[in-house]
Amino acid sequence: MMRRLLIATNVVFAFGLMVCADTARADTLCGRTFESPEQLRSELSRLPQSRILVDNDTLAVLADRQGRVMWTFLKPSHPAAPGAACQIPVEYQGAPSFRMEARCAGPKQACDSFIIEEFRTKREESLKRLKEL
């Protein structure tokens, strides 16, 4: 079962979650259409404007310097895999923030942890990295 999430963050952390049937259809994250998170990661990593920021046993983080999008891909060893998420810088009530979208097909508790905890704690780090791009 694939879960879809759109998050707007700033001082207030709000999110919506919609559970969708797991089908072989294309999906979209931050304007990119893909068949699977693995396929999207492969395509993005080959782009000249992409930079690998993190690549460990459980996830990979890529920055698209042209589109100013931060991508996170869960590797098979991550409890919430398969999954992917993107962060786009936006202005929210006059302050820098992110719009986040995620797709996660692992167990609900693992997906919730990945989406909420990991991205909430990485907000400041992501803002800093995107300013450096």
pLDDT at 96: 79
Q: What is the Cα–Cα distance from 28 to 33, expressed in whole angstroms?
A: 4
Residue-wise pLDDT tens digits, 106-128 = 999 999 988 886 667 666 666 66
- CA 11 vs. chain centroid, Å, equals 19
pLDDT in tens, 100-111: 899 999 999 999
Q: How many domains does the chain have?
A: 1
Amino acid at the residue 44: L
**Lookup: tokens for 61:** 């983080």
Query: By residue range, what is the domain housing residue 37?
Result: 2-132
